[in-house]
Structure 1
Amino acid sequence: MTKKLINSGSVFEEQIGYSRAVVQDNWVFVSGTTGYNYETMTISEDIIEQTEQCFINIKNTLEKAGASLSDIVRVTYILSKASNFECCWPVLKKYLGSVKPAATMLSAGLANKKMKIEIEVTALKNR
């Protein structure tokens, strides 16, 4: 029962004190992930581009954990405006359409006004 912490290099992880993901046995718990490009610490104003970047960040994190997008069993979408959810559907389908995890969408204020979507996933690594 080994616990592994994964960091993406985001300044938020260091400033706030959390891990991008925690791996416990075959489980991978990925923190809420926004559309920031962590290499440049920039974020697009476009929600579709933010959604795409969220999945790039999540994919990179899962790979560091020895998992993949196909291992996702649960996803939570948090949007600053519920009315923006439908325009994200094509990106969601692109990444998870064949995976079909259990899903929830919430609308809430996010940590920064630039953030329009945050995505949290749980994955179960296949042996």
Structure 2
Amino acid sequence: MSLERYSSGTRFEEIAAYSRAVADDLYIHVSGTVGGDPQTGAMPDAVEDQLANIFATIERALAHFGAGFADVTRSRVFIVSADVLMPVAAALKARFGDCPPTNTTLIVGIPAPGAKVEIEVTARRPG
């Protein structure tokens, strides 16, 4: 079984020695992704803006391996409080409404300053 790694180039990937995504012959595993601006690293205050950045980063990682959101089989969602649950749920429905994966959502502390949500996914590798 071969492994292929993808980096989105964030400083955290370098600091903590991890890949944004790793694909084997069957699956693509995308690391937990927070909503910092991909160019500046600044964390938007609004959870909706964080979600837009998260989904854009995940989409680029999946596309690198020829996949998309329809190929996602599992999502794990970490939120800092129940106050953001409904906006996060609405964003998940917008992305996965036609192809819902399995999901786990937990209220946790997220170590990225200002982050209100973190999402990781696993997708079936096309082909």
Provide the residue aligned with 2:15 in structure 1: 15
Q: TM-score, normalised by structure 1?
A: 0.94
Is the Cα–Cα contact under 8 Å of residues 9 and 39 in structure 1 kept in the other structure?
no
Greater than 4 Å deviation, 4+ residue runs = none
Provide the residue aligned with 2:125 in structure 1: 125
Whichever structure has more strand as a proportion of its residues is: 1
Matches within 5 A, 1:2-41: 2-41=2-41
> Which amino acid in 2 is paired with 1:21?
A
Is the Cα–Cα contact under 8 Å of residues 33 and 54 in structure 1 kept in the other structure?
yes
Alignment: residue pair count: 127
SS in 1 for 2:33: strand
Structure 1: stretches of 5+ with no match in the other structure:
none
Report the alpha carbon displacement of residue 99 of structure 1 after superposing the two structures with TM.
1.3
Matches within 5 A, 1:69-88: 69-88=69-88
Provide the residue aligned with 1:116 in structure 2: 116
SS in 2 for 1:39: coil
Structure 2: stretches of 5+ with no match in the other structure:
none
Q: TM-score, normalised by structure 2?
A: 0.94
SS in 1 for 2:94: helix
1:54-75, CA deviations, whole angstroms, 9 ceiling, x for partnerless residues? Answer: 1111001101122111100000
SS in 1 for 2:22: strand
Provide the residue aligned with 2:99 in structure 1: 99
Q: Return the alpha-carbon distance in structure 1 between the equivalents of residues 126 and 5 of structure 2.
A: 19
Q: Return the alpha-carbon distance in structure 2 between the equivalents of residues 60 and 74 of structure 1.
A: 17
